[in-house]
Amino acid sequence: MLLVVGLGNPGSRYARNRHNAGFEIVAALADRIGAGGWRDKFHGEFTRGLMGDTEALLLRPMTFMNASGRSVRAAMTFFRVEVADLIVVHDELDLPFGTLRLKVGGGHAGHNGLRSTFQEIGSGDFVRLRVGIGRPPPGWSGDVADWVLSDMPPDERAAFPEIVQKAVKSLLDIGEKGLTAATNALNARPKPRPAKAPAAGGEPTPGEEDVAKRRD
């Protein structure tokens, strides 16, 4: 059994914010695995389904970001979920936009949803799927909070569905193949295309035969 939590803020005002990347990805995961409808439970929205042969509990805390841990703790307590079986999907300032990374443990780096989860469950040794949103560009007039609570610009929003699907695949890989295989697959670089083989020795490449005939 895995508990997969997407962090974000409830309400239409925040729906397309950078800070709500976790909400969007877990919603897409629910659609992919054909989970039942969302129910109000554990101070959040809850549903369940299967990722391969692994039962998946999906949760989107409705407590607002700063109190996300209350929701996480309630679900973990009810289902007796171990910390090692918790996956938290969250936005990450320290990764470029669109970069995805799996990580176990570490600090909260000022992310209030992670901070609250640490405080409520007494540990940070869970799996995180970090979703890069990048830091504010030079000249940004607000602070970091304004940045994460702002909507993605049109170019990022247009690219985001592909990132969501890549994140969903990574989560499915955890359920179906395990964390190590999922991490290796996510971090794997595309293999370079093999160099084009030269023409066989002595045989003219296309066009060379005609040139030879004209010389005769």
Q: Is the pLDDT of residue 210 over 50?
A: no
Q: Where are the domains of the chain?
A: 2-189
Q: What homologous superfamily is domain 2-189 in, according to CATH?
A: Peptidyl-tRNA hydrolase (3.40.50.1470)
Residue among 78, 96, 75, 94 at smallest CA distance from 86:
75
pLDDT of residue 139: 87
Residue among 71, 60, 54 at smallest CA distance from 179:
54
- pLDDT tens-digit profile of 48-89? 999 999 999 999 999 999 999 999 999 999 999 999 999 999
Share of the chain above pLDDT 90, in %: 82
Exposure string of 27-36, with b = 16+ CB inside 10 Å and e = fewer, is bbbbebbebe
19 among known catalytic residues:
yes
Please give the mean pLDDT across all residues of the chain.
90
Q: Is the pLDDT of residue 207 over 50?
A: no
Q: Which residue has the higher pLDDT, 199 or 28?
A: 28
- pLDDT tens-digit profile of 92-132? 999 999 999 999 999 998 899 999 999 999 999 999 999 99
3-state secondary structure of 174: helix
pLDDT of residue 190: 59
pLDDT of residue 196: 59
pLDDT of residue 211: 40
- pLDDT band of 187, cuts 50, 70, 90: confident
Report the distance separating Cα 61 and Cα 48, nearest Å: 15
